[in-house]
Amino acid sequence: MSRKLRMGLIGGGPGSFIGRIHRIAAELDGEAQLVCGAFSSTPERSREAGDMYHLPASRVYASYQQMIEAESQLSPGERMDFVAIVTPNHLHFDPARRCLENGFHVVVDKPMCFSLAEAQALKEVVAKTGRLLAVTYTYSGYPLVKQARVLVASGHIGAVRKLYVEYPQGWLSGEVERSGQKQASWRTDPARSGAGGAIGDIGTHAAQLAEYVSGQRITGISASLHSFVPGRRLDDDSQMQLRFDQGASGLLFATQVAAGEENNIRIRVYGDKGGIEWQQADANSLILRPLDAPQQVWRAGCGYLDAAAGNTRTPPGHPEGYLEAFANIYTAFFKAVREHEHDPAVDLRRHDVPGVDEGLRGMAFIETVLRSANSDQKWTAFP
Amino acid sequence: MSRKLRMGLIGGGPGSFIGRIHRIAAELDGEAQLVCGAFSSTPERSREAGDMYHLPASRVYASYQQMIEAESQLSPGERMDFVAIVTPNHLHFDPARRCLENGFHVVVDKPMCFSLAEAQALKEVVAKTGRLLAVTYTYSGYPLVKQARVLVASGHIGAVRKLYVEYPQGWLSGEVERSGQKQASWRTDPARSGAGGAIGDIGTHAAQLAEYVSGQRITGISASLHSFVPGRRLDDDSQMQLRFDQGASGLLFATQVAAGEENNIRIRVYGDKGGIEWQQADANSLILRPLDAPQQVWRAGCGYLDAAAGNTRTPPGHPEGYLEAFANIYTAFFKAVREHEHDPAVDLRRHDVPGVDEGLRGMAFIETVLRSANSDQKWTAFP
Amino acid sequence: MSRKLRMGLIGGGPGSFIGRIHRIAAELDGEAQLVCGAFSSTPERSREAGDMYHLPASRVYASYQQMIEAESQLSPGERMDFVAIVTPNHLHFDPARRCLENGFHVVVDKPMCFSLAEAQALKEVVAKTGRLLAVTYTYSGYPLVKQARVLVASGHIGAVRKLYVEYPQGWLSGEVERSGQKQASWRTDPARSGAGGAIGDIGTHAAQLAEYVSGQRITGISASLHSFVPGRRLDDDSQMQLRFDQGASGLLFATQVAAGEENNIRIRVYGDKGGIEWQQADANSLILRPLDAPQQVWRAGCGYLDAAAGNTRTPPGHPEGYLEAFANIYTAFFKAVREHEHDPAVDLRRHDVPGVDEGLRGMAFIETVLRSANSDQKWTAFP
Amino acid sequence: MSRKLRMGLIGGGPGSFIGRIHRIAAELDGEAQLVCGAFSSTPERSREAGDMYHLPASRVYASYQQMIEAESQLSPGERMDFVAIVTPNHLHFDPARRCLENGFHVVVDKPMCFSLAEAQALKEVVAKTGRLLAVTYTYSGYPLVKQARVLVASGHIGAVRKLYVEYPQGWLSGEVERSGQKQASWRTDPARSGAGGAIGDIGTHAAQLAEYVSGQRITGISASLHSFVPGRRLDDDSQMQLRFDQGASGLLFATQVAAGEENNIRIRVYGDKGGIEWQQADANSLILRPLDAPQQVWRAGCGYLDAAAGNTRTPPGHPEGYLEAFANIYTAFFKAVREHEHDPAVDLRRHDVPGVDEGLRGMAFIETVLRSANSDQKWTAFP
């Protein structure tokens, strides 16, 4: 199938940050192209976005319902192949369900749904329809995060004992949501974001990164949530102790009131033979600290890498970043989509793409953290 | 003109690194799309590349001559708008000239030509045809390089006294060209690369960066060139003292035998009130050192930036890199191309795009360094 | 009193790391000199150390009891002025008590005592004797830690919301104590170390640093302790959530099984206007992140510093480190000692020297963490 | 000889920076003690310094001539063993000569003398008297600089090709010398500093570091000197190309007008198998970049170090700095001094202490750079 896959976009209208990101990421490796969209629930704003994306008016829709219906009726050689859903969380489930039921694969941003119940329902839809659904846990797309996972899995640091994972942001230190800032507005609104604030928006990233890199599964959570900004209805700060299934323990925090911080998600994992460290602020380096030898800095693009090799486009030293990590997830997803044509049982996991199970686990994580934060008991079991 | 610009590519066949980069960079912001190419002088390899790019066979050409001729005869609504030339240096001038003469705008990789004479001739073609020609001095596309330029120009570091600019690579430390590695092969071959080796390939980047950031012009050069690897016919190492037009002085080195180094181009500029530092290895940070106050780290994507603001796509902390810097040059070039429809006198410089003058200056730089390196006199005037 | 203060040392025999450190730190600024010692409970080893320190045999004692008695009988112009106690924790209280009761000031390493009960008793001895007792919480001796405290206190980061403090070590990742390594041997032995392992050895440092820098007091602890190395009788790993008296919260971990880590104690404090960060690995820099302005890096030795100014000896850029931080505590202590001659009510706190109250608080911290770790309740009040 | 060596100090009066440094460094390891001094040519200021150092009035002298004479007449068990000379450059030779001729060993700060002629004369005095003379090239005292030397010598980076060494300072960016600042005053005065400004003060450090680490000898210099501050009579900025005896080449700069810079002396050496990098700003790390393997970071105090092992006092991660590097030179010098008692032919070089030959080479370096800077010929031979 030497043709580009055709992408539809739900959400991503004017003022959206993540819509443009998905478009760039999906098209980056030349394997897909945006062909249609329902960019906003306001038709006029949807058209405005369609112009921005240089789409023909005929493929710019006034609603996602309309888009799914209309595209379904196009010829197989014309209609979209998959849809990326980049709306606020309360508008993930319904469009995803409709797309899947109409035969379209889906990419949905995290957290996967508004609630755990929706996530469970979505899992059933995926199973029933046999379509592919990917969840964009972006950070597991970084080449050196993949390399970290390989190093841990292959025993470079020995048996894992400690995990420290953190996601500090500072952008919600003030009452940004009152200024009309679109990103802040829905993220602090329980009706659109769901029950979790910081914990849903970035805590899920941190938890997924911890499990992805370490190969360990969280089994116990002892959490606190805070809302530091007066009047804010969702948590803007989370911190917790974690227990893992093979005896490791650790700490996680995800906060949006670490004033002055940007998006420096960071993970450290220590085993009995060494430790590894990766952070987005230095995304092209992976630090490996053996127990009794000099530290090593593994660098993206270098010939000695394993997993990371196929996930870079530039020679070492030409930095790749967030968009490229995002693209790695899309490009792996596209391989699965192409394979799906011949093998409907294709497993996203084998393509290293987070799917509905990871999405569901993220929703369960939010729900468990909320229960733990409301409990006087130290530990709450997960899931 | 709400449509994507149509891109043709000359070069960039299988094994090419920079061809894919240009494709990604040009398409990144959704303003252009690759529609045709003459990817290799071997028709079979050109077709192979065309498949890789998912192009229809009808738009994949066996030679650039054929492409230019065929595209010229397509309807205005179909034919390519501009061409990116990513062949080895000896194949820059002729395709560029033909494109310009047939009405196509041109993007050409640096160094602009094989020789200074070619560069001078190309400048005349540009003037005569009135088409736009951009030269991809990639590093001046980085948002914080642009911010550095603004800080210097606005007096934040005072009158410039010292410039240190360097481009250390290590990939040519061994006889890589004998292994059949395509990149090494033509870069070390005077018949394809021109008279300069390291000095042409990366020295020109360093010199352009120095002048771009500082606003100073090099007026004197005292250079040495070396070939450390036995049998190598071009320099793999260059170093020099520099004089600038407003009294500053400094050092430049560009080497391909700094074993273990990747592509860490770096610049430091000091004035009488402070200094600035930027390096590709930490591309999203710009260090400003005032004379008597704490160091400052300016970060990409932040609200307090001037010039850098329009050149990022992600919130602060989500790193952008080399591809995005490259895209910044293309996206600015596209603005000029669209403006050119209404105003053929559009000035690339006003759009912050390096043009034929910068390309010519780079060729003169190579030629002057070569003269200096062969001279016993300490200083050689530039240009 | 233009003379050096005379120092006695209890502990610090062959194989001791911290004894030599105290000697260097005390003498560094030329204000004191080691004149006598009871370096080991084995007289022969005490003499060996005495030779190493170039002390006359007459001032090298076979036991601390003997030393205190003998020195007390020397003339005021000859006898020691103060004693540094660097023995394992179970041998802090008795020598400290005897010194104080015989009129000698005391410097004792942390944790101050073997148990909370001892610490309470020691506080009474200090009050009764009117002598000075300092506890070497080394990290609060770093000039930029002092500057961090000033920045927080003066409102540079606004109202404190979050504190993250950590002390990762890796040296106890294996069964080092079975190899006869002296440092590991007593630190993992409850009979010599007390009830706390990592939590006592380095957790106390982290807690003191958090309170020192932030000016906040810990009021609640939710902790876990682990012993990862089989057979180890004390914790080698600790992690906890913290609550502070003015509404802040945070995380603390202190571990000795973070394989590959050295001694990188690190603190981050965030308020509603910005954040600060300091770590021992880059001890001469302090990062200040204002909410909406470029990051700042404050550097040791620079003219714009407040508190840090008097605590450096070298121009900026000539790094000072651990020994100099240690010396800052001693040198401040000596000022208090000299002042004590004229004003027996001299307050160590005014000299920025941690005293018996800080030592007692450290012991209470260990005891509370142990209680929390054994509790199913999420929070345990402190103290 | 279990006694401390007795130190005399010439220079180092009130306002001196380097005098206090020498006192601390000499005493740091407990092997020496300051016993006397001629701290200033103004007797009153000398006494003031004597009080600061807690010396008895009888050992505080009004002039170095008086000190040398008086100390010579004290009993062997009382008189000083060696003298540290920390006066401005024009007052190095005469006190050094007198000390040596009266049987005292000498430590002299760099540059060793006021002129090359003086240096040659001093070498003869050393030879004639058989006393030891050390020159404090401080940076070669850093443990990881020593490790770098070992790595290069043992072939870890292969045959050396390129050396880049730099010493950027910014403190003379303005007319500091007119403000009465003592350090600036004599360093910019040809009558006290000699013919070199920046080149003598810090260029000599850079050149010594390059030769020390690489084991290569400079054979050719192509230099420029500048005085950027109006009215300044000596160079405040130097830059040059270098040639080395075994085919390597490189760049050196030493400047005092890199506004905002502190004292970040830095060296990079590249061979055909890898490269190393060390800088004072991260003094406890040494970067080794093998050609085709992950970067390594060697850390001070770690068990895997060779040469560096004996030159640290603290466990890894507790940073040591400038004073400790300085102390390493003194402590090695003291070993030589003690050995000298039994073997007057002791070789300082075997103890890794820079001696009169290195001092002389530094003076020749200054002189050659000055000649090169005044020449239109590209290269000037060294020495």
pLDDT band at A181 (very low <50, low <70, confident <90, very high): confident
CATH of the domain at B286: 3.30.360.10
For residue D237, pLDDT beyond 80 = yes
CB-count burial class (<10 Å; 0-12, 13-18, 19+) for D235: buried
Closest CA to C170 of A295, D293, D324: A295
pLDDT band at B308 (very low <50, low <70, confident <90, very high): low
For residue B260, pLDDT beyond 60 = yes
d(CA B48, CA B12): 11
Q: Return mean pLDDT, chain B.
A: 96
Same domain, B134 and B155: no
Give the number of domains in chain D.
Answer: 2
Structural domain span for residue C175:
143-313+363-373
Q: Kindly list the residues from chain D whose CB atom is less than 8 angstroms away from the CB atom of residue C2.
A: 51, 54
Same domain, D17 and D129: yes
d(CA B177, CA B189): 9
Token output for C369: 């963490």
Pairing type for strands D295-299 and C218-226 reads unpaired
Determine the pLDDT at residue A344.
Answer: 94
d(CA D143, CA C66): 40
Determine the pLDDT at residue A307.
Answer: 65
Token output for D358: 């290195």
- What CA–CA distances, in Å, run from C276 to C79, C144, C152? 45, 11, 8
**A281 vs B317: CB contact, 8 Å cut-off?**
yes
Given a contact cutoff of 8 angstroms between Cβ atoms, the answer to whether D288 and D147 are in contact is no
**D294 vs A303: CB contact, 8 Å cut-off?**
no
> Phi/psi of residue B296, each to 5°?
-120, 145
Same domain, D71 and D146: no
Same domain, A134 and A150: no
Mean per-residue pLDDT for B368-375?
A: 98
**A24 vs B313: CB contact, 8 Å cut-off?**
yes
Same domain, B280 and B155: yes
Q: Return mean pLDDT, chain D.
A: 96
Determine the pLDDT at residue B129.
Answer: 98
The answer to whether the peptide bond before residue C383 is cis (omega within 30 degrees of 0) is: yes
pLDDT tens, chain C, 383 aa long: 479 999 999 999 888 889 999 999 999 999 999 999 999 989 999 999 999 999 999 999 999 999 999 999 999 999 999 999 999 999 999 999 999 999 999 999 999 999 999 999 999 999 999 999 999 999 999 999 999 999 999 999 999 999 999 999 999 999 999 888 888 899 999 999 999 999 999 999 999 999 999 999 999 999 999 999 999 999 999 999 999 999 999 999 999 999 999 999 999 999 999 999 999 999 999 999 999 999 999 999 999 998 656 899 999 999 999 999 999 999 999 999 999 999 999 999 999 999 999 999 999 999 999 999 999 999 999 98
pLDDT band at B14 (very low <50, low <70, confident <90, very high): confident
In eight-state DSSP terms, residue D146 is H
DSSP symbols for B262-302: ----EEEEEESSEEEEEEGGGTTEEEEEETTS-EEEEETT-
Q: Which residue numbers of A have CB closer than 8 Å to B's CBs?
A: 2-4, 17, 20-21, 23-24, 27-31, 33-34, 51-54, 169, 171, 261-264, 280-284, 299, 301, 313-324
For residue B128, pLDDT beyond 70 = yes
Mutation pick from C157, C162, C219, C238 vs chain A, by most beta carbons of A within 10 Å, is: C162
- What CA–CA distances, in Å, run from C163 to B280, C139, C280, C289? 32, 16, 17, 14
d(CA C268, CA C299): 17
For residue D1, pLDDT beyond 60 = no
- Long-range interactions of B346-352: CB distance < 8 A, separation 24+: B346/B132, B348/B132, B348/B134, B352/B140, B352/B146, B352/B307
pLDDT band at A16 (very low <50, low <70, confident <90, very high): confident
Closest CA to C374 of C257, C211, C235, C166: C235
Spacing of C-alpha A79 from chain mean position? 26
**A318 vs B321: CB contact, 8 Å cut-off?**
yes
Closest CA to D257 of B247, B220, B217: B247
Mean per-residue pLDDT for A102-123?
A: 97
For residue B1, pLDDT beyond 60 = no
Token output for B302: 């932040």
CATH of the domain at B87: 3.40.50.720
* D316 Cα to chain A: minimum distance (Å): 12
Mean per-residue pLDDT for B68-90?
A: 97
Q: What b/e readout covers A349-372, taking b as 16+ CB neighbours within 10 angstroms? A: eebbbbbbebbbbbbbbbbbbbeb
Same domain, D131 and D270: no
pLDDT band at B102 (very low <50, low <70, confident <90, very high): very high
pLDDT band at D208 (very low <50, low <70, confident <90, very high): very high
**C275 vs A261: CB contact, 8 Å cut-off?**
yes
Q: Kindly list the residues from chain A whose CB atom is less than 8 angstroms away from the CB atom of residue D293.
A: 304
Partner residue opposite A304 with nearest CB, options D294, D298, D299: D294
Question: Which chains, if any, share at least 3 CB pairs under 8 A with chain C?
Answer: A, B, D
pLDDT digits over A129-145, tens only? 999 999 999 999 999 99
Q: What is the largest CA-CA distance in chain A?
A: 64
Q: Return mean pLDDT, chain A.
A: 96
Note whether residue B321 is domain-resident.
no
- A269's enclosing H/E stretch is strand A266-271
pLDDT band at A207 (very low <50, low <70, confident <90, very high): very high
pLDDT band at B306 (very low <50, low <70, confident <90, very high): confident
For residue A261, pLDDT beyond 60 = yes
pLDDT digits over D124-139, tens only? 999 999 999 999 999 9
* B115 Cα to chain D: minimum distance (Å): 26
Same domain, D303 and D342: no
Q: What residues are paired with D278 via a beta bridge?
A: D267
d(CA A36, CA B27): 17
pLDDT digits over A56-81, tens only? 999 999 999 999 999 999 999 999 99
Determine the pLDDT at residue A2.
Answer: 80
For residue D309, pLDDT beyond 80 = no
d(CA C225, CA C375): 11
Locate all alpha helices (DSSP H) within chain D, ordered by sequence: 18-27, 43-52, 64-72, 93-101, 116-129, 143-153, 182-187, 190-193, 198, 204-214, 322-340, 356-373
Determine the pLDDT at residue B182.
Answer: 83
pLDDT digits over A25-59, tens only? 999 999 999 999 999 989 999 999 999 999 999 99
Partner residue opposite A292 with nearest CB, options D292, D293, D303: D303
Chain D residue with minimal CA distance to A300? D294
Closest CA to D74 of D63, D58, D86: D58
For residue C162, give the 3-state DSSP assignment: strand
Question: Which chains, if any, share at least 3 CB pairs under 8 A with chain B?
Answer: A, C, D
Determine the pLDDT at residue D229.
Answer: 96
d(CA A237, CA A373): 12
Token output for C251: 């995380």
Q: Which residues contact C331 (CB under 8 A, 6 or more apart)?
A: C28, C29, C31
Partner residue opposite B315 with nearest CB, options A3, A17, A28: A17
Q: Which residue has the tokens 């840090």?
A: C308
Chain A residue with minimal CA distance to C269? A258
Determine the pLDDT at residue B155.
Answer: 97
Closest CA to A299 of B263, D168, C309: B263
Same domain, D157 and D300: yes
Cα four-point dihedral sign D28, D32, D36, D42: negative
For the packed helices C322-340 and D322-340, what is the interaxial angle rounded to 10 degrees? 90
Given a contact cutoff of 8 angstroms between Cβ atoms, the answer to whether B207 and B252 are in contact is yes
**A375 vs C375: CB contact, 8 Å cut-off?**
no
Closest CA to C129 of C82, C75, C87, C85: C82
Note whether residue D210 is domain-resident.
yes
**A296 vs D299: CB contact, 8 Å cut-off?**
no
Q: Which residue has the tokens 């329009």?
A: B310
Given a contact cutoff of 8 angstroms between Cβ atoms, the answer to whether B187 and B197 are in contact is yes
Determine the pLDDT at residue C144.
Answer: 97
In eight-state DSSP terms, residue A144 is H
Q: Which residues contact C54 (CB under 8 A, 6 or more apart)?
A: D2, D3, D4, D30, D31
The H helix count followed by the E strand count for chain A is: 12, 14
> Phi/psi of residue D44, each to 5°?
-60, -40
Note whether residue C321 is domain-resident.
no
Same domain, A280 and A149: yes
Note whether residue B111 is domain-resident.
yes
Partner residue opposite D24 with nearest CB, options C34, C280, C313: C313
Note whether residue C379 is domain-resident.
no
Note whether residue D323 is domain-resident.
no
**D270 vs B290: CB contact, 8 Å cut-off?**
no
For residue D308, pLDDT beyond 70 = no
Given a contact cutoff of 8 angstroms between Cβ atoms, the answer to whether A86 and A312 are in contact is no
Given a contact cutoff of 8 angstroms between Cβ atoms, the answer to whether A270 and D265 are in contact is no
pLDDT band at B17 (very low <50, low <70, confident <90, very high): confident
Given a contact cutoff of 8 angstroms between Cβ atoms, the answer to whether A26 and A8 are in contact is no
Q: Kindly list the residues from chain A whose CB atom is less than 8 angstroms away from the CB atom of residue C290.
A: 259-260
* D270 Cα to chain B: minimum distance (Å): 5
**A294 vs D293: CB contact, 8 Å cut-off?**
no
Q: Integer distance in angstroms from the first to the last C-alpha of chain A? A: 41
Same domain, B106 and B252: no
Partner residue opposite D315 with nearest CB, options C17, C31, C316: C17
* C203 Cα to chain A: minimum distance (Å): 15
d(CA B24, CA C341): 76
pLDDT band at A183 (very low <50, low <70, confident <90, very high): confident
For residue A309, pLDDT beyond 80 = no
Q: How many CB atoms lie within 10 A of CB C326?
A: 24
**A260 vs C291: CB contact, 8 Å cut-off?**
yes
Chain C residue with minimal CA distance to A229? C272
Note whether residue A305 is domain-resident.
yes
Same domain, A277 and A367: yes
Note whether residue B383 is domain-resident.
no
Q: Kindly list the residues from chain C whose CB atom is less than 8 angstroms away from the CB atom of residue D1.
A: none
Partner residue opposite A261 with nearest CB, options C224, C240, C289: C289
pLDDT digits over D40-74, tens only? 989 999 999 999 999 999 999 999 999 999 999 99
Q: What is the ipTM of this complex?
A: 0.96
Same domain, C151 and C114: no
**A297 vs D299: CB contact, 8 Å cut-off?**
no
Mutation pick from A156, A160, A164, A374 vs chain C, by most beta carbons of C within 10 Å, is: A164
d(CA D63, CA D13): 12
Q: Kindly list the residues from chain A whose CB atom is less than 8 angstroms away from the CB atom of residue D303.
A: 292
Token output for A153: 């899995």
Range with the poorest average pLDDT among A315-324, C11-20, D68-77, D79-88? C11-20
Strands (DSSP E) found in chain B: 5-10, 32-38, 82-85, 105-109, 133-136, 160-168, 218-226, 237-244, 249-255, 266-271, 274-279, 285-290, 295-299, 380-381
**D294 vs A299: CB contact, 8 Å cut-off?**
yes
